[in-house]
A and B are shown apart, each in its own frame.
Chain A
Amino acid sequence: MAVTVLDSLNHALDHAMDTDSRVYLLGEDILDPYGGAFKVTRGLSTKFPERVLTTPISEAGIVGVANGMALRGLRPVAEIMFGDFVTLSADQLVNHAAKFRWMYNDNVRLPLVVRTPMGGRRGYGPTHSQSLEKLFLGVPGLKVVAPNALGNPGDLLLAAIAEEDPVLFVEHKLLYTRPLLEPGQGELADYEIQEFSEPYTSYVLRIPNYAPCLTIATYGYNFELARAAALDLMMEHEAFCELVLFSQLSPFGLQPLAASLRRTGNLLTVEEGTLSLGWGAEVAARCVEAVEGLRVRRVAARDLPVANAKSLEDAILPSVQDIVNAALELVGR
């Protein structure tokens, strides 16, 4: 059976706990046999009963307790059951986790990981479907990392656990059951893939021997949509894209994106968070500052809550067709 994103994350947690007794897990309903709302922690409370702590429904408490643990030498990994609830831990992330090291003049370290599933398309409605990571981008002292199905999400998680600083680790719900994508195999057979490590690997994908006219920048699950759109653009419109896939959203480096943009001159950002003042806006601004003559479009969710009814949810969240349309407009076809 193919290894899924869920397996990869679960194995990474298992490995981290096995090799480092400072690693603790905290979260709601994470004990076996349930193993967490999305099963990422399944099996771990059986194997490490002392270090897997099921908590009351207290998102501020969970992250706050984890902050205290991290300040005093442990490596807690906290789970927030749905990303929507991360707002209840916002104070702990922004005013505590992200501040302590700098505010205490580097006297302390805070090796914390907060994992949480974000994203819609499962009909969970307005308070269980959001992509709220945009609210936590640009907070000094807080890293935001989002795995995707390429490469190894578990390696990203292990890198986050190895950090000395807090990381918000955003897992799109639809990724969990996805098999891992292998470079050069299956759907990725046509692509030449370059890796950039920071230490959270980002990727540039291109079709060799065809001049690209457009760069699509994206992260997380939206890489799946962006790839489908790129295929359509290639087959139906003979428009070749370079895809730049981010894993570390904040803070972020401009390379390899800027280099790709110097080849294509057109940037299309794709995200599932709401459009206004979002990830794409900042990426676009930074790129426009750096790359002469750049043209930009953003594809994102409409500025509305995520509706429950599938017809509405589909209309609110970005689709493959939205990406294709924006791309064609951008390249003038």
Chain B
Amino acid sequence: MTSYIEEFNGIEKPKDYYDDLFVQLEKLNDEYHAFNVINKDADCGFLFGTKANICVKGFETDAGSKMLKGYAPSFNATAVERMLSDKRFAFAGVTGMDEFGFGTFGTNTEVPARNAFDKEYAAGGSSSGAAVAAALMKYHVSIAESTGGSIATPAALNGVVGFTPTYGSVSRYGLIDYANSLDKIGVMARSSEDARIVFDRIRGRDEYDTTCAVEKITSERRKKIFVINGMLEKADASIKTSFEKLLNRLGNAYEIEHVDSSMMEMAIAPYYIIAMAEASTNLAKYTGYKYGLMAEDFYKQYNEFFTDVRENFGMEAKRRILLGTFIRSASVKDKYYTKALVIRSMLIREMDRMLKEGYILSPTLPIKAPRIADVRKLSPVESYSMDLFTIPPNLGGFPHISFPYDYVDGMPLGAQLVTGHGNDYAILDFVKSWEEGFEYRYKTNLGEL
């Protein structure tokens, strides 16, 4: 499979290419709500969109939240700065997301994006708009972000590649924080090659992000693939059937080994504890008097003022603030937060050991794409459990990629491949060779030349 970026930049574009494209995109966007903002000034270069929690100077970057309505940052995120300074690319606009990244299906925001294959279905979250944009447009990549699966999940549900690099390989400067020790900027694209090109463009040290310290990326091929028994069991029967077929196909080139991993199986709880503890501190800054939503009445006592203005968070955000604040409080901190940190380092050790030997492969989600109406019936815990497969690599900061491997009832299925820290190129290579024998399907190819 070729690179759409290279293909696009090699073709002569008709004179009104961008004007026509944006007219069509706006129309399509009214149906799918992939973009919050479309930058119609773009007129040269391969288009890239940014998730609404990645700062773009002068463009509304609301992180899907009412609390940040109208917030146009005064600076570019490092990743955006690096894209903009490359003539191959042009900024397409800001893509929608679950409020502050809190969601598995993209429904925790005012106007949720719709699945690119069927508008009745969830787009997946939290980088919902980013995935839909990549699936709707032929020549487009999305810069997105994952905390616990926010790239892999929507990529799987929209049939595109979702690449989440090693934690610390791409600067988070300008990323509106969800959980700083987990947040990773990554790429969603129609091919692994495009994901690699963009990754290479945005990665590397940045003095503005202390945690961005991974410079060396390798491509060490593994001959073995691990499948975690206890986790695969939890997937729906139809998912298991399709996934077994995938394993059979890969069985020719790789040694498939079914193993148990107690750490990976219990990763959901420590993940949500750490994520909520950090999130509740990150959300403390939204107080309605410096940026974004502005309070109307300032003649109140401080406590009353803060309480009133913070009513504007969505339901899921409020839940995470409350739980996160509880988890941090001194009397239960050791019981939850400290323990979660311990389990996290145990998980990293266990996965590290496995990943030295082979990749870890799983379905990206335990279910098929759900209808939006059904997502709304899920309890929070049921919803959190959908992150079963995506959480372990995210909690450990391991690079992982979701790639489409099958279509069932017209909807795409994604598989997730994980490798060791810094070995990001290996999984991009893996998907590249997979793509040679796989035919991607799309419903729309907006911008086709």
**B is bound to A:** no
A interface, CB within 8 angstroms of B: none
